[in-house]
Amino acid sequence: MSVETELINRLFDAVHRNDVASYVKCFAEDAEYKIANFPPVYGRKDIEAFGAKITPMFEKVLHEVKQSWQVGNTCINVLDVVYHKKDGKVVKVPCLDVIKVENGLVKSFQAYLDATPAFM
């Protein structure tokens, strides 16, 4: 398993456990973070603030990876993001992640998905 793949597994595992602190440690200090239609954020501090706002909205969020590719230090994942809402409803949306890794940390994370159904 590559360093990049191992890092992405740690990222997804932290999300599955609602562990924002462990999640943020996977990012470079100056990382770019762009999720769905939300404005991009930059740096660990702002990524942590973003996660702290989103995490309490859900019982849990899971990633069901269907396909993965790695080209150099960039990983592309086709997956479903499964939102378990506090009201017991489960919403699954398709997603494409493009994750660039530098020096063992995420330098850029872009998740292409329409998360609107999870927030309705």
Report DSSP letters for the chain, one per residue.
--HHHHHHHHHHHHHHTT-HHHHHTTEEEEEEEEETTSPPEESHHHHHHHHHHHGGGEEEEEEEEEEEEEETTEEEEEEEEEEEETTS-EEEEEEEEEEEEETTEEEEEEEEE--GGGG-
Place of tokens 């998360």: 115
Q: How far apart are CA 7 and CA 56, in angstroms?
A: 24
What is residue 1's predicted lDDT score, i.e. its pLDDT? 73
Which pair of tokens denotes residue 82?
A: 């499964």
Residues of the chain with confidence (pLDDT) below 70: none
Structure confidence by residue, pLDDT tens digits, 34-45: 998 889 999 999
Q: How far apart are CA 66 and CA 68, in angstroms?
A: 7
What is residue 119's predicted lDDT score, i.e. its pLDDT? 86
**Entry pTM:** 0.89
Top CATH class, 3-119: alpha beta
Q: How far apart are CA 24 and CA 49, in angstroms?
A: 10
What is residue 83's predicted lDDT score, i.e. its pLDDT? 95
What is residue 4's predicted lDDT score, i.e. its pLDDT? 86
What is residue 120's predicted lDDT score, i.e. its pLDDT? 83
